[in-house]
Amino acid sequence: MNIKLFKLIDEEDIKNKVKELAEKISSDYSDKELILIGILKGAFVFLSDLIRNLTIPCLCDFIKVSSYGKGTESSGIVKILSDISIDIKDKDILLVEDIVDTGLTLKYLIDHLSLKKPKSIKICALLDKKERHKIEIPIDYLGFTIPNKFVVGYGIDYDEKFRYLPYIGYIELEKS
């Protein structure tokens, strides 16, 4: 199988958008204790750039989930592979996601984290594929709306490949 890679969002546009999101988040949470929860593995690059651009103190934790396996379509079944370690009771939470596809993963995580009784849960997503939503999830801080393509780069992978790209691209698979 051949993989063709195309650029969708360049490095400079990502950098500018992350800075813009961080400014808005810093303003909105200037007088609150914020905990960012990165959704692994795809959001780790986005979260690291985002947190370096924040101008407020915050805590950071991660939750690792799986819903894709090795394919390009979500299985629709979300599994928590590693849960958060910080107590989030009565805290303001910002879930940091690389891409909102069907919305099923975020819905599952919001329900899961709500059981831990945080003060609030908001969503920050770098990318949103609106046409793929099965569940509407309010995205409080959004980077880019993208077409229904399988994207890679900037931490996002296909079969653990392409995370290293400094831009967002999309791939097309061709049978050889």
Question: What is the average pLDDT score of the chain?
Answer: 93
The pairing of beta strand 58-66 with beta strand 79-82: antiparallel
pLDDT tens-digit series, residues 20-62: 999 999 999 999 999 999 999 999 999 999 999 999 999 999 9
Whose structure tokens read 């593995």? Answer: 41
Does a structural domain hold residue 56?
Answer: yes
169, part of any domain: no
Q: Is residue 156 included in any domain, yes or no? A: no
**Does residue 69 sit within a domain?**
yes
What CATH number corresponds to the domain at position 21? 3.40.50.2020
pLDDT surpassing 60 at residue 71 = no
DSSP code per residue over 86-98: S--TT-EEEEEEE
pLDDT value at residue 175: 78
pLDDT score of 70 more than 80: no
Residue of 31, 87, 90, 101 marked catalytic: 101
pLDDT at 73 over 70: no
pLDDT of residue 24: 98
End-to-end CA, the chain: 5
What's the domain count of the chain? 1
Asked whether residue 136 is domain-assigned, the answer is: yes
- CA distances, 89 to each of 57, 61, 121 (Å): 18, 14, 11
Q: How confident is the model at residue 75 (pLDDT cuts 50, 70, 90)?
A: low
Q: Is 101 a catalytic residue?
A: yes
